[in-house]
Amino acid sequence: MILNKSNDHYGHVFGDVVLKEFANVLMGSTRKSDFVIRFGGEEFILILPVTTLNEAKAIAEKICSTFAMKHINQGGKSLYFSASFGVSYIHPEIDESSSQRHISELIDEVDQKMLLAKQLGKNRVIT
C-alpha cells in the first residue's frame, strides 16, 4: 500500500483515512475464522486457518483488486491506492517446539515476497 506517499503528499490525517479504508477491505474480504493483525505502520499479517496456499492467494488477489477499485476522496479528487502481498503457507502439523522459529522465518519469507511484489509493479500477489 502506498500509505507513505499519502502521508507525504496529503498529511497523516488523510493517511489514517487510507489505512481505515484498507482495514475495511480486509475485514470485508476475510472470514470470521481469519485473523487480521496490524504488524507495522502499513503492514498487516493475515492468518487464514484451514486454507491452502492457492486459497490464500485468491483471498489476497481479491483484496488487491477490491482496494485498487476503491476511491478515496481528498480535496475533491478521487484517489486510488494499491496493496501488495507476499503469501506463504505453514503446515498445521508442525510440532510446538519448532513453531516459534518457523513463524519468524515465515514472516521474513512473506516480507521478502511482499517487497518483490512492490518491485515488480505493486498491486500484486507473490506466492
CATH number assigned to the domain comprising residue 50: 3.30.70.270
Q: Which among 21, 42, 43, 61 is annotated as catalytic?
A: 42
Q: Which of 120, 10, 5, 29 is nearest to 73 (CA)?
A: 10
Distances (CA, A) of 89 to 28, 45, 57, 107: 22, 12, 10, 10
Q: Give the domain range for residue 29.
A: 3-126
Quick: pLDDT tens for 98-125.
666 678 888 899 999 999 998 998 889 9
Q: Report the number of distinct structural domains present in the chain.
A: 1
Q: What is the mean pLDDT of the chain?
A: 86
pTM, whole model, 2 decimals?
0.84
Lowest average pLDDT, out of 42-56, 72-86, 98-112, goes to 98-112
Task: Answer yes or no: 105 catalytic.
Answer: no
